[in-house]
Structure 1
Amino acid sequence: MPNRSMPASPCPTPGALLMGDAFNMRHPLTGRNDSGIVRYCVLRNLLRPLHDLHDASSLCEYLESFYTLRKPVASTINTLAGALYQVFSASPDPAGKEMRQACFDYLSLGGLFSNGPISLLSGLNPRPLHLVAHFFAVAIYGVWRLLLPFPSPKRLWIGVRLISGASAIIFPIIKAEGFRQMFFPATVPAYYRAPPALKYH
């Protein structure tokens, strides 16, 4: 299926606020938006101190904070969508085939190995560090499968390419999403900080 990603980037437009698919689009593989109810609550509380909605400059400043507050969950799902799309794209490359098979086998291990990725995929776990950890755990698991029972130079070379391919997939996506916004959202200036009940944990 053709891939089209449109991450939510701050685009302050006086008089308009884009939400839903118009606000953030990702590949249908993980075509789920971050929770609309949480988005609505964050936005409602964010705009509550603003008394004049006709004040475009102040409104845009508050909306910048909204982008920051929703970034961890949205960027986790966006990164996962982009990474999975690239992993499962048809390719004759042996390293790509091994990565695809490693994904299936990793999930079939059950327990943490399936619960972790599924919670990321469903948006229940918006922690970008967990995404990166599981993504590279799959790659390392793929290398481990390659080297058993006896490593050969060819299999070792495929393993090296598997790790480098995994890095080439995920790091550009993280860079496009914004490293600081994903992993350190509290360091991004915001006019409003969500109360604990509304934060993505």
Structure 2
Amino acid sequence: MSTMTRNTGVQDQEKQNPGQLNSVQLNIVTIVNMERAIREKSLENAIYMMDNSVGGTGQGTRHLETFCKQGQVINWIIRPIDMEKRPDGTWPPMPKINNIVVLDTEIGDEEDVAEKKILTELKIYGGPDKMRDKFTPVYYYWAGTILSTAKPGLYHYRLVVELEQDGTKEKLYLNTYDHPSLRVLAV
């Protein structure tokens, strides 16, 4: 093997981000009882979460712990419990995740926002919301990648959810009451 071939191989290996080697995407699905959340103006007893991680706990609860790896892509998908098309052909209001806030649990106060970033948001693909119409169901999602530099450990987070309200253009913004978590494993 020539020196040029050997150097190119080493150079290619150095360029790769070891955290990006994990290509399996995780999905975290949040189901929202829209009627209860809007009536009580709280997500406390109105959300149920599940994921497809191996080893995660709290499936079907609001205390979900998702096992993930450095560099892994996670898709947070959100939808209402009521997904029946209405007689007029329209769909019920849809919930939307506006933000995911990672909390600082090292100091013991879960309400403090973490100082270090552990994930990067991937922007939504496809057309803007203005192009959607009331006859097409919309499933919102928030996607992000766990940074390859994120330290292994348990990270609690808070979902900031936007709820459409029937018969009004006013939106309701709620935070998760209990905090689900990501358990980041080293690659």
Q: Which has the higher strand share?
A: 2
TM-score normalized by the length of structure 1:
0.24
TM-score normalized by the length of structure 2:
0.25
Q: Which has the higher helix share?
A: 1
